[in-house]
Amino acid sequence: MSSRTPRGGIEAVSAALLAMNRRLEVREVLQTIVASARELLGAEYAALGVPDDHGGFAQFVVDGISEEQWRTIGPLPRQHGVLAAMLHEATPQRLADVRTFESFAGWPRTHPEMKDFIGMPILEDDDVLGAVFLANKTCPASAGGVEGFTQEDEELLRILADHAAIALTNARLYERSRELTLTGERARIAHELHDAVSQKLFSLRLTAQAAAALVDTDPARAKDEIKHVAALAAEAADELRGVVVELRPAGLDEDGLIATLRTEVRVLDRVHSARLTFTAAQVRALPAAQEEALLRVAQEAMHNALRHAHATTVGVTLEGRGKGARLSIRDDGRGFDPSAVRRAGRHLGLVSMRDRADGVSGRLTVQSAPGKGTVIEMEVPGG
């Protein structure tokens, strides 16, 4: 293994960490990861895709293609061929010629020609959040005469994918904070996020620098340090998830569930073109944990309806049920097949919502179908 490649790998990881720590715009962070991967592996083209639940991509960033060329290519790619294999099976792909892949179906007319290919799924536990992929190795062949991407390239790309998982988790937090700006939540979420991950990111950077210093003198220890970088990245992702779970909106403590939900719906109705409504009837006071769980599920469901399902109307209803309550979020968006969303690589936050319901002895039900909208209901027993 040459010293140039590992050192370049550490520097690319460090650049991605710094970008994540300094910037809030998700697309900028993802673009930094893509550019780092392309430079590190010596590829002509690189891309990072975050799938939606309808066979396409919710986010897609590229490097190595001009803006003019990107415009002429047309719509974003669909989840088929080698992209589908990575997203659905959660396995890396390294090919001498991507055109020989069994389900390859060609490219749009102005799409650049690609041959050697490497792709890595971005994983959060067992969930596939997205994939980063590169094509056309441009650096000279190794001393052994091997062309295309190598096993070393694959291992370095795996490290970058670990950091991409952190960036995507951060994306969810930032998007939520942006939507809640008018209710005063943004500053508090930013503060909690900084406290939760800044120390971990600093440790990641120091570990990466230590590995770089050891590459020439002690390659074995350098390899151990790189493994430590991946472990620290996983820990940082866990802490980010903890911020999402533990943050409790101040408005809920001060105003109660009904007033807080009404305010959130009113805010989203103002900032989105969709029509959002809220109704409440005969709701008793609930335990604090149940109120927070109901609010979080409502936020997640409204976010999905507006950002992913492109709904034009969203109705939120909260009704008393004995000592408990039932929350319903109904939208007229694109809908999805609940039995297939896990195979599609994401799950619209359904696992998170079910976890919240289970955590307060509640029950979550989901009714949806492609083109038929979605109804999400959560019922809690009260105290």
Q: Is 60 exceeded by the pLDDT of residue 189?
A: no
CA distance 376 to 330: 7
Question: What is the average per-residue pLDDT within 43-60?
Answer: 83
- pLDDT, tens digit (0-9, with 9 covering 90-100), for 213-258: 888 888 888 788 888 877 777 777 666 665 554 555 556 766 788 9
Q: What angle do CA 348, 334, 77 make, to 5 degrees?
A: 75
Q: 24: which residues sit within 8 A by CB, 6+ positions away?
A: 174, 190
Question: What is the average per-residue pLDDT within 74-103?
Answer: 83
Among 11-25, 183-197, 224-238, 273-287, which range has the highest average pLDDT?
273-287
Averaged confidence pLDDT in the chain: 79
How many Å separate Cα 184 from the centre of its chain? 24
Which CATH superfamily hosts domain 252-380?
Histidine kinase-like ATPase, C-terminal domain (3.30.565.10)
| The residue to which tokens 């599609």 are assigned | 344
Q: Is 70 exceeded by the pLDDT of residue 209?
A: yes
Q: Is 70 exceeded by the pLDDT of residue 339?
A: yes
Domain map (residue ranges) of the chain: 4-245, 252-380
Q: Is 60 exceeded by the pLDDT of residue 20?
A: no
User: Which carries the bigger pLDDT value, residue 189 or residue 323?
Assistant: 323
Cα first-last separation, the chain: 62
Predicted pLDDT of residue 372: 92
- pLDDT, tens digit (0-9, with 9 covering 90-100), for 136-177: 998 654 444 457 899 988 988 888 888 778 777 776 676 666
Fold of 4-245: Beta-Lactamase (3.30.450)
